[in-house]
Structure 1
Amino acid sequence: MLKGSGKSNGKTGTKILLDAISKDKVHLARFVLDALDGEIVDSKTEGAQTPLISSVLLPDAQARCKFAELLLHRGASVNCRDGNGRTALSHACEQGHLDAVKILVRNSADPEIVDSWGNTALMYAAVAGHAHPQPAVALPQTWIPQHCRNN
């Protein structure tokens, strides 16, 4: 298989990977990750967004889960931050994408990471109105303060 080298190939590879993610082309995403030995799995766009963050923001649940799992399997850092210090978990919580939240938590996402404004993932969920009883039941008990748990 041909392997690319150099910074420009990484930038091009990142653009192709993000395009594959946005167009639900998982085979192309796998090919790009293989061709570049996964070097771009945690690359950042000009807006400092990672492919994992892009994947959890997808509107289609099936595509969102498929790409998040692929990227994590290929070594994406689950706690990698964007330019504002936000993680994929923070974005998934804000969007109410519980499927992505579960995948990220299973892969050791840290819910206590604070972004540039001092907010955690759970704060984004609450502000966006996604911290209602059904999703909270699915979240690990460690996310819920001891005095708020239904013990």
Structure 2
Amino acid sequence: MEKLVAVSEQEVLINFVLNTKCRANIRLISLCSTNPIAFKVQTSSPHKFLVNPPTGIVHPLSQTTLQIILKPQDQLPPTFPRSPSDRFLIKTALFNSAGSLNSFFLTLPDGSTQDVKLKVAFVGPFLLKHAVSCGDIGAVKNIIKRQKSIVAELPKQETESLFRVATKLSNSEDMVSLLLQTGLKIDTRVNLNDTSDYLKGWSELHVAVAFDRTEEVLSLLKTQKYDSLDCRDKEGRTPLHLAVSKGNIRFAKLLLESGANKDAKSKDGRTALNIAAANGDRRMAEVLIEMGADPTIMDDRGSSCFDVAR
């Protein structure tokens, strides 16, 4: 049987806030050019979620938006981002009845619907801050994986607060490094000496790139020796790796034009192009390839940039 519908997301991403009604939208897209598609949405947690509309019709090659509403919760999710106990099931079928939708689905024989399953993930700044304060790097990584720009889009005051919290953790070095790689923007007046304990293994060029210090980057590139452009941190990352991780095309171009190794590998075997592919950063990938980066290089898992992008 041909597929009837597609969904815009494979997970329902809920920007969670305590004691607040939270919403997420999912688009249901008809793939049928001849008949309307009937749908019915069910959830494993009806005490927590509402769906609007719970049933409906999608016209041929059209789409409709489902709003998922999380009722106000007075406790944090027991697990996040992924919530194994919360799921949605969207039942779909070709609609050829004049009756009500509920009656239509009740009269369908078992196994005659096409079902779409959706997982639930709780994300957003509130849970990101909580995960950072707990030193939970795994949760922080998984939130950022689902919301790639969440760190970069934090307001200045929240950014500085998050940075201070991260520097006081027992795993501060790893947490600060992760946040900086994923776009945490700290005021350029932050003194390198104040953070050097947390940024072990970073050269001045690493820090200038990580903190978006344009003037410092330009100054260092004028004075750096050729081989110091590819200095490594404790993870084997060069300043180019950091520039690509942050999506900073200008810094990446400046480093490459100054002679940085475009195919340098980190300890896990990833090149800058591999990171751009993993981040879904098409423009960065184009720039790196235009400047000669090799897309066939494998990382330590045997994956090429094409494999990662796919």
The TM-score range, normalised by the shorter chain, is: 0.5 to 0.7
**Aligned-residue CA RMSD (Å):** 1.9
Give the gaps of 5 or more residues in structure 1. 1-11, 127-151
How big is the shift at 1:26?
1.6
| Partner residue, 1:96 | 280
- CA distance in 2 between counterparts of 1:20 and 1:38 reads 17
How big is the shift at 1:95?
0.2
Give the gaps of 5 or more residues in structure 2. 1-199
The alignment covers a number of residue pairs equal to 111
Kindly provide the amino acid, as one letter, of the partner of residue 18 in structure 1: H
Post-superposition Cα deviations, 1:31-73, rounded to whole Å, max 9, x if no partner, equal 1222233432111101101111110010xx5xx1110001001
- CA distance in 1 between counterparts of 2:220 and 2:286 reads 26
- CA distance in 1 between counterparts of 2:231 and 2:283 reads 23
Post-superposition Cα deviations, 1:92-127, rounded to whole Å, max 9, x if no partner, equal 00001111101100011111101111000111111x
Work out whether residues 229 and 260 of structure 2, in 8 Å CA contact, stay in contact via their aligned partners in 1.
yes
How big is the shift at 1:17?
1.1
Kindly provide the amino acid, as one letter, of the partner of residue 76 in structure 1: A
| Partner residue, 1:84 | 268
Work out whether residues 53 and 88 of structure 1, in 8 Å CA contact, stay in contact via their aligned partners in 2.
yes
SS in structure 2 opposite 1:90? Answer: helix
Work out whether residues 263 and 271 of structure 2, in 8 Å CA contact, stay in contact via their aligned partners in 1.
yes
| Partner residue, 2:233 | 45
Kindly provide the amino acid, as one letter, of the partner of residue 54 in structure 1: L
- CA distance in 2 between counterparts of 1:39 and 1:28 reads 18
Work out whether residues 52 and 88 of structure 1, in 8 Å CA contact, stay in contact via their aligned partners in 2.
yes
TM-score (norm 2): 0.34
The answer to whether residue 273 in structure 2 is matched with residue 109 in structure 1 is no
Higher strand share: 2
The answer to whether residue 309 in structure 2 is matched with residue 125 in structure 1 is yes
**Runs of 4+ residues over 3 Å off in structure 1:** none
Work out whether residues 203 and 231 of structure 2, in 8 Å CA contact, stay in contact via their aligned partners in 1.
no
The one of the two structures with greater contact order (alpha-carbon pairs below 8 A, sep at least 6) is 1
Structure index of larger Rg: 2
| Partner residue, 1:31 | 219
